[in-house]
Amino acid sequence: MIILRPGEERGSANLGWLDSRHSFSFSNYYDPDQMGFACLRVINEDRIGPGGGFPTHGHQNMEIVTYVLQGALMHQDSLGNGSVIQPGDIQRMSAGTGIFHSEFNASESEPVHLLQIWLLPASQGLAPGYEQIYVAPEQKQGQLRLVGSDQGHQGAVTIHQKVDLYASILTSGQRVSHTLKSGRVAWLQVARGAIDLNGQVLSAGDGAAISDVGCLNLTGIDKESEFLLFDMAA
């Protein structure tokens, strides 16, 4: 079963400096039919204007993954970490027992466009943690590149949940396949371009909840399409 989540049906918030789209219920957007999928709780597509950002605020018991598509995001947290996240970077922050952080557009002239993802951890009360890696575009080109997993193998960040997170970039006509094992489900999020998923077309901003499907066939439609694929315990 493949259930599409059209991008234009997502929740939204516009604060001037922030234009955000919510795949699942978040902040002032509430839809009882869109409370998450498996361990996925939040997928927000954020566009932050020059100099804008989120001042210091706290989180607990959540795995937070940030994936920048354009521009640069400045991060600081109560663990003493400070970094600038740019396209190709994947940042994982485990909130665990509690963490405070801030996120600001690193530029005073250019916007930053990103996906921020929250996943429920496999267990509560973990020690807060932080990790960031860089994956070059050619490592995602024409293939599913593992960028996050509970094992942290193949150079991926460690996500404290039974999930394998893949990133991919496909040119028009390029195809990749992925097999879902028994007891697993998937979520596809198209970041830019357009993808054919088993005969259904998804464009930038669209998502899909996938269950009881053995093989996923993904084909690029646009000249360059980028997406994230979450393979999760049901």
The more confidently predicted of residues 104 and 169 is: 169
Residue 88 in this model has a pLDDT that exceeds 90: yes
What are the sequence ranges of the domains in the chain? Answer: 2-233
pLDDT digits over 6-54, tens only?
Answer: 999 999 999 999 999 999 999 999 999 999 999 999 999 999 999 898 8
Q: Name the pTM for this structure.
A: 0.96
Average pLDDT, the chain: 95
Residue 151 in this model has a pLDDT that exceeds 90: no
Residue 146 in this model has a pLDDT that exceeds 90: yes
- Residues 202 and 210 sit within 8 Å (Cβ to Cβ): no
pLDDT digits over 54-69, tens only?
Answer: 888 889 999 999 999 9
- Residues 91 and 134 sit within 8 Å (Cβ to Cβ): no
The CA–CA distances, whole Å, from 22 to 8, 31, 34, 100, 112 equal 10, 11, 10, 22, 17
What CATH architecture is 2-233?
Sandwich (2.60)
pLDDT of residue 58: 87
Number of C-beta neighbours around residue 141 at 10 A: 15
Q: Which of 18, 8, 88 is nearest to 53 (CA)?
A: 18
Residue 123 has phi, psi (to 5 degrees) of: -145, 150
